[in-house]
Amino acid sequence: MAYQKIRDLREDNDIKQVQIAKLLGIAQNTYSQYETGLLDFSAKMLIQLADFYGTSVDYLLGRTNQKEPYPPKK
């Protein structure tokens, strides 16, 4: 499910796969495989994407429908 949410967020923000791939330090074709579900995202990549989109990893994984990130720990 993460791959669909990540694709939707990228498209909603008019960002190209090559731009996200560069952010993650991977090739565009590798990122494409993540978006199609052929490869699984690592925890590190999910955290980077959640930070980039201003959401939570739980949202990306489909564990919640709340897009807003959790409040920071004190």
- Residue range(s) defining the domain that contains residue 53: 2-60
d(CA 73, CA 7) in angstroms, rounded, equals 29
* Domain-located, residue 74: no
* Domain-located, residue 72: no
Residue 9 has pLDDT above 90, yes or no: yes
How many domains are there within the chain? 1
Predicted pLDDT of residue 16: 97
Predicted pLDDT of residue 47: 93
**pLDDT-based confidence at residue 17 (cuts at 50, 70, 90):** very high
The CATH number that applies at residue 51 is: 1.10.260.40
* Domain-located, residue 70: no
- Model confidence over 23-70: pLDDT tens digits? 999 999 999 999 999 999 889 999 999 999 999 999 999 898 888 877
pTM for the structure as a whole: 0.84
Q: How remote is the C-alpha of 46 from its chain's centroid?
A: 5
